[in-house]
Structure 1
Amino acid sequence: DPIQRIWLARAHQQQVEVLARFTILDNIRQDSQATIAQLKQQGCRISIASGDNSGHVQQLATELGIDDVHSGLTPSAKLALVTELQQHSHVAMFGDGINDAPVLAGAELSVAMGSGSAIAKNSADLILLGDHLSRFTQAVAVAKLTTQIIKQNLAWALGYNALILPLAVTGHVAPYIAALGMSASSLIVVGNSLRLLRIKV
């Protein structure tokens, strides 16, 4: 049963008297579906590794559109699963509970939710501030743009130095012109890097 039920009862005159029933159901994070859709568009494969019972996990997986589901796993079984996956692919593990700490510590990239347990956050490489999974896709976008800008800056700096230094050494360019060009080159690199400040997250 995907719904967790807890019964409170007492023995009374050789009979069991039910006092209360509590029905517990986990809510899906608001941005889960959108985040998973974005990750799939980027070519990521999404899996669930959970210690909960199969019915509950399967219901969540169906709602989120996740096909690869592993339920009823112990912390050591989660770690074994991630270790196996890492033999042929890169793995990012998300977790927020105490029992996620071992697998977070063993994953190539581990991400803990800001609302998670302290031990999970201590074991993770990244901590998402707040309670939004979309922060991860935003971080990936920023990282990709940062890498792109670094490559642009390196290409510009190497190209400029390869062109101007031989001309300056052979006397085809006056030293003060080369110095001014070097300063201008540095300003171009800084200006290109400042594009990162325009990213709104």
Structure 2
Amino acid sequence: MAFQEVTFRPIPSRVLAVVTIGVCAVGVGVMVWQDPSSALRYAWALVFVGFAAWALFWRPRLAVQEHGVTVVNVLRTTFVSWPAIQRVDTRYALTLFTTNGRVPVWVSPAPGRHRAFGLARADFDGVAESAAGEHGSLRPSDALSTTSGGLAHVIRSHWEQLRDAGLFDSGVEPGATRTTWHVATIATLAVLAAATLAGLLVP
């Protein structure tokens, strides 16, 4: 069964990350140039903002792979094998409901109200069968022309193929869902936040 892997990184978010980091870097450079002693106290705030922009907008991604789905969020990375996926929802954001709990996808929020109002019937043509909720209803966030709906469709379509081929009949193996916390990222954010507060509050 041929399958082409898909990796999604939203370009607007990455542009925002680059711009924010660039502005912060320039700000730190100006501080160091004008008053190095003050920079030791106040530059930490800009470093914190720059690092947070990387963690929030550059690093997160979604990878739909042959053996499962990898979700890289801000503070953790979760791998979900195909048999462990129970359903895919898009109500507030693309979310995988698995045998080990729900996994939201940071890079794929549901479309806003104005985007939803602009959808037409054609935007739902070809939506995967498993997208239909109770009474066969679909959400605006299931539309293929939206980010959440398009990515959900990729996952649902392959999941349905595997299901229909009987590849889930043997059940879910141990370790089908694995979560790795971004310890270094969390620690760095905590240290930079403490340094920022110390620089702003300590006389």
TM-score class normalised by the smaller sequence: under 0.3
TM-score when normalising by structure 2: 0.22
Question: Which has the larger Rg?
Answer: 1
TM-score when normalising by structure 1: 0.22
Q: Which has the higher contact order (CA 8 A, sep 6+)?
A: 2
